[in-house]
């Protein structure tokens, strides 16, 4: 079974593994779990876990929830505080503030334009018009916040997730060959 798993599936198995021995026996994913431990990136796995927690929360587009409800939803993301902390440490090394980290994380979880909700066009009498949404200029997405500092944080997140995926891939190859 594990031979046919994609890297993405291995990552998913690994980040959901709650008990090493049980999971390893049941799914043969010990290699993946070892890869997790050996990963160069401490942030890659929690980021992927956070993404899956968010997707699992059954969200809810912006505009459908009040800010208060939104805050409650965020509170349910168990991995959010540790990701925010770890990312904050790296950001501080670059002289980037914790506010930037928080804003980028929110954007990363929910990049959909808060005005057109991803429709890309303005509404006219309740129907989609031919005019591009002014807020997102027709992209359907919010702009990454905080310019260059925001970009640096996002690049780092992407790098960490890539590093985690790579180490899972490499390690499972070594074990199966
Ligand atoms: Zn828009």
pLDDT digits (tens, 9 = 90+) for 115-166: 888 899 998 888 889 999 999 999 999 999 999 999 999 999 999 898 888 8
Which pLDDT does position 22 carry in this prediction? 45
How far from the centroid of its chain's Cα atoms is residue 44's Cα? Answer: 9
Averaged confidence pLDDT in the chain:
80
106 CA to middle of ligand 1, Å? 17
Confidence at residue 70, expressed as pLDDT on a 0 to 100 scale: 75
The arithmetic mean of pLDDT across residues 27-39, rounded, is 55
Residue 35, pLDDT > 60, answer: no
pLDDT of residue 28: 55
Distance 40 CA to ligand 1 centre (A): 38
pLDDT at 59 > cutoff 80? no
pLDDT of residue 101: 95
Q: Give me the percent of the chain exceeding a pLDDT of 70.
A: 72
d(CA 14, CA 110): 24
Distance between Cα 4 and ligand 1 center (Å): 40
Closest listed residue to residue 102, CA positions, set 71, 62, 138 = 71
> Which has the higher per-residue pLDDT, 159 or 177?
159
pLDDT at res. 43? 86
Residues 6+ apart with CB under 8 A from 168: 7, 10, 11, 14, 32, 35, 36, 39
- Cα pseudo-dihedral 115, 116, 118, 120, rounded to 10: -130
Residue extents of the structural domains in the chain = 2-176
Q: Residue 148 corresponds to which tokens in the numbers above? A: 């260059």
pLDDT, residue 68, reads 75
What is the distance between the alpha carbons of residues 103 and 97, in angstroms, rounded to a whole number? Answer: 10
Q: How far is the CA of 146 from the centre of ligand 1 (A)?
A: 19
pTM over 0.85: no
Q: What is the pLDDT of residue 150?
A: 97
């Amino acid at each position: 079974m594990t031979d046919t798993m994609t890297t993405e599936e291995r990552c998913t198995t690994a980040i959901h593994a709650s008990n090493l021995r049980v999971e390893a026996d049941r799914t043969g994913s010990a290699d993946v779990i070892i890869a997790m431990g050996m990963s160069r990136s401490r942030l890659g796995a929690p980021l992927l876990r956070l993404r899956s927690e968010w997707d699992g929360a059954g969200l809810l587009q912006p505009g459908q929830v009040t800010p208060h409800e939104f805050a409650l939803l965020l509170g349910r993301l168990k991995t959010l505080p540790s990701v925010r902390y770890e990312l904050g440490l790296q950001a501080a090394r670059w002289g980037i503030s914790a506010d930037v980290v928080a804003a980028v994380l929110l954007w990363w979880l929910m990049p959909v334009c808060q005005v057109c909700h991803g429709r890309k066009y303005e509404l006219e009498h309740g129907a989609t018009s031919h005019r591009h949404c002014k807020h997102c200029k027709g992209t359907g997405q919010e702009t990454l916040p905080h310019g260059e500092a925001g970009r640096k944080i996002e690049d780092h997140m992407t790098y960490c997730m890539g590093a985690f995926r790579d180490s899972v891939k490499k390690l499972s190859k070594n074990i199966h060959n």
